Amino acid sequence: MAYKVGILGATGAVGQEIIRLLHERNFPIGELRLLASARSAGKTQSYGDQTWTIEETTPESFAGLDICIFSAGAGQSKMFAQEAVQRGCVVVDNSSAFRQDPDVPLVIPEINPDAVDGHKGILANPNCSTAISLMGLYPLHKAFGLKSFIASTYQAVSGSGAEGIVELEKQARAWAEGRPVSEMKKEVYPHQIAFNLLPHVDDFLDDGYTKEEMKMLNEGRKIMGLDDLKVTCTCVRVPVFRAHSISISAQFEKPVSVEAAREAIRHFDGAELVDNPAELEYPMPLNYSEVVPCGVGRIRKDSVFENGLALWVCGDQLWKGAALNAIQVAELLHTKGKL
């Protein structure tokens, strides 16, 4: 069985990784259709010895497709997802548009694979920081029963798309050449991102949290099926190109031990234990760029929470945080005969 596959947002930072990973992971592609905005229509895209022409996205773009991975932002998802479904195309959506819709499964294949079973055409891919955090937290939840956690994220500029990467590059280059960075036009971030930290990812809400910070709570609850989970999150944009890191203090129902926590991580698909402080070994964003598993380390007893653990997780925002998880969802649908 080979599928007719589409990518909406094929020219973007995530779209480019989807093209690469679909091929590297040998997803059974019969035909590949690359969709973007009118700006990109007619341009070509190559991978290996194949070349495709980018098409402008219209409702008819989805006719004849079996599956399309959407990565062009929530606005495009809202505009086109139902159009695609009506034309018989399953949508795996990377945006936040449908994640809290009770009719839409929000899936991390290592955690809730059965959520895809009753899908109605649209499946949602989680927020990048949430997906990467849960690769450390979920195995600990299975071992000790997660009650609450406090997280601080260190989010790479890839999370703002190709333009975020360009903005950091331009500012870093200007700084290295001795040009005044503060006077440069800011296109993506409200403040300088090079050599700085912005405690601000996504829009602010009335209660002082950002939308991104609330995703950790709402998506964590939905994916792990934990309605009473409590989360406080601070999301920070950092001058790192593509892997996110998250510092977490978590409280559990049962007594915890560091060794049992390490064992739980070791046995969890998709996570890798790197926790050897004596040898200065811990996960870092540079080591978790273009890597499939997320790295988990710095596991220790939390000194504030009873039954608490502190940990550090790193993962590729463009991969587990977006393209890879979406393709794993597509692979799961294929394996379960749900495409």
Catalytic residues: 128, 244
With beta carbons less than 8 A apart as the criterion, state whether 235 and 259 touch: no
User: How far is residue 152's CA from residue 211's CA, in Å, rounded to a whole number?
Assistant: 14
Taking a C-beta distance cutoff of 8 angstroms, is the pair 275, 289 a contact? Answer: no
Sign of the C-alpha dihedral computed for residues 232, 234, 240 and 242 taken in this order: positive
Options 36, 193, 271, 322; binder of ligand A2P; rule CB under 6 A: 36
Q: Is 72 in the site for ligand A2P (CB under 6 A)?
A: yes
Phi-psi region of 121 (alpha: psi -120 to 50; beta: other; left: phi over 0): left
Helix (H, G, I), strand (E, B) or coil at 319: helix
Joined together, the tokens standing for residue 104 give: 């839409």
Q: Using CB under 6 A as the criterion, what x/- string covers residues 264-283 for binding ligand A2P? A: --------------------
Among 20, 37, 211, 284, the residue binding ligand A2P under the rule CB under 6 A is 37
> 215: closest CA among 191, 229, 233, 199?
233
What's phi and psi for 143, nearest 5 deg? -80, -40
Q: Which is nearer to ligand A2P, 83 or 281 (CB)?
A: 83
| 161 touching ligand A2P, by CB under 6 A | yes
Q: Which listed range, 33-41, 81-89, 99-107, 331-339, lies at the site for ligand A2P (CB under 6 A)?
A: 33-41
Instruction: Please pick, from the candidates 57, 77, 96, 133, the single residue that binds ligand A2P as defined by CB under 6 A.
Output: 57
Residue nearest to ligand A2P (CB): 12
Q: How far is the CB of 250 from ligand A2P (least distance, A)?
A: 31
Q: How far is CA 43 from the centre of its chain?
A: 27
Contact between 163 and ligand A2P by CB under 6 A: the answer reads yes
Applying CB under 6 A, which of residues 29, 63, 74, 162 lies at the interface with ligand A2P? 162
Stretch that binds ligand A2P, among 21-29, 149-157, 159-167, 207-215 (CB under 6 A): 159-167
Among 39, 191, 266, 336, interactor with ligand A2P by CB under 6 A: 39
For residues 336 and 152, the answer to whether their CB atoms sit within 8 Å is no
- Which amino acid is present at 167? E
Residue numbers at the binding site for ligand A2P (CB under 6 A): 9-13, 15, 36-37, 39-40, 57, 72-73, 76, 161-163
